[in-house]
Amino acid sequence: MARESPVIALCWGTLIGTPLEQLIAAAAHHQLGAITLTSPMYEAARRGGRSVDGLRRKLEEAGITVQAIDPLIGALPGTPKPADVPAENRHYFEITEEDCYRAAQDLRARSINLAHFGGSQVTEAQFVDCLGPLAARAQAHGVDLTLEFLPESSIPDLATAQRIVRAVNAPNLGVMFDTWHFARTGGTAQQLAAVPQGVITGVQISDRVPPAPGTPYTPMFGRLLPGEGELPLVEWLDILLRRDPELTIGVEVFSEELTALTAEKAAGRVAETTRGVLAQVRRSLTAPSH
């Protein structure tokens, strides 16, 4: 079967709690071309008796690549110690650089995603000082890095992430563009179009209906599948894919509704809605200019 273009990645957060082999099977059932996963998901599969060769073979037979190991939080400055993090999130902060390199190399992942989640205030210069050596270490392991911006962090928006990445100027470091965070920071198509080619190297999409003013924000919830909200996803993806048609489109939708479904049914909804949005993008990309 011809490889879908652009490739859709089923992100672990959309099927949160799903073991690695089930995630692979769900993606394969709906002919999605890639997945993302956490390094603890990989370690759990290994503890369960799965060999590196066996997992690689399962991916190859399914026609699936690993787009990213996500997240790596503790390698960034200002990150809290695991003991200072609420128990339900502590395991994310316990993940080490070496954990991520091991999972990335064993599963031939393309990248590792960095997030400054729950950290103290850090200057852009501190991030640059940290990310230069970090990118060099990742390059020695044959892995790319993406830097994600989150409104509650010291990398609060696309502009900040862009400045940091360009200041580091490492060939294997780019920005992770997440539509949820971009929308929450009031990002516009004009801002996105102004980003130089090659800066954005990772994409995660979800949809959103803006909440009523004053509504408390609940992290990791309230996201909708692509096309089920009000975000201009077609316009944003048109900009991104015109500039870089090889980008993989990760679908990251933290959702109680999806979590309640079987992995296969949740992946089916991801495939259906995302392909619907991408069909609109393809029509936009091929439409004659006026």
> Residue 132 is encoded by which pair of tokens?
């230069």
Q: What is the pLDDT of residues 20-39, one digit of tens each?
A: 999 999 999 999 999 999 99
The total number of residues shown for the chain amounts to 290
Distance, in Å, from the CA atom of 98 to the CA atom of 80, rounded to the nearest integer, reads 18
CATH number at residue 236: 3.20.20.150
Give the percent of the chain with pLDDT over 90: 88
Query: Residue 1, Cα to own-chain centre: how many angstroms?
Result: 26
Q: What is the pLDDT of residues 178-201, one digit of tens each?
A: 999 999 999 999 999 999 999 999
When pLDDT is averaged across residues 137-141 and rounded to a whole number, the result is 98
82 with 90: CB under 8 angstroms?
yes
> Residue 17 is encoded by which pair of tokens?
């709690």
When pLDDT is averaged across residues 124-137 and rounded to a whole number, the result is 98
- Specify if 290 maps to a domain: no
- Specify if 3 maps to a domain: no
Q: What is the DSSP string of 219-242?
A: TT-S-B-TTSSS--HHHHHHHHHH
Distance, in Å, from the CA atom of 152 to the CA atom of 179, rounded to the nearest integer, reads 15
- Specify if 55 maps to a domain: yes
- Specify if 206 maps to a domain: yes
Angle 158-168/124-140 helices, nearest 10 degrees? 60
- Specify if 44 maps to a domain: yes
pLDDT interval class at 2 (50, 70, 90): low
pLDDT interval class at 1 (50, 70, 90): low
Q: What is the pLDDT of residues 61-70, one digit of tens each?
A: 999 999 999 9
pLDDT interval class at 120 (50, 70, 90): confident
Element (H, E) at 102: helix 97-107
Distance, in Å, from the CA atom of 208 to the CA atom of 179, rounded to the nearest integer, reads 9
Report the chain's mean pLDDT, rounded to a whole number.
Answer: 95
Cα-Cα-Cα-Cα dihedral sign, residues 193, 133, 34, 73: negative
- Specify if 1 maps to a domain: no
Query: Residue 138, Cα to own-chain centre: how many angstroms?
Result: 17
- Specify if 101 maps to a domain: yes
pLDDT of residue 98: 98
Give the global pTM.
0.95
Q: Is the pLDDT of residue 148 over 60?
A: yes
pLDDT interval class at 290 (50, 70, 90): very low
pLDDT of residue 212: 74
> In terms of residue numbers, what domain contains 261?
8-210+219-285
pLDDT of residue 118: 84
When pLDDT is averaged across residues 163-186 and rounded to a whole number, the result is 97
Instruction: Report CA-CA distances (Å) from 285 to 134, 244, 275, 278.
Output: 36, 12, 15, 10
Q: How many domains does the chain have?
A: 1
> Residue 94 is encoded by which pair of tokens?
């316990």
Q: What is the DSSP string of 265-287?
A: HHHHHHHHHHHHHHHHHHHHHHS
When pLDDT is averaged across residues 141-148 and rounded to a whole number, the result is 98
More confident residue, 287 or 141: 141
- Specify if 59 maps to a domain: yes
The residue behind tokens 């002919």 is 31
When pLDDT is averaged across residues 154-159 and rounded to a whole number, the result is 97
Q: Is the pLDDT of residue 289 over 60?
A: no
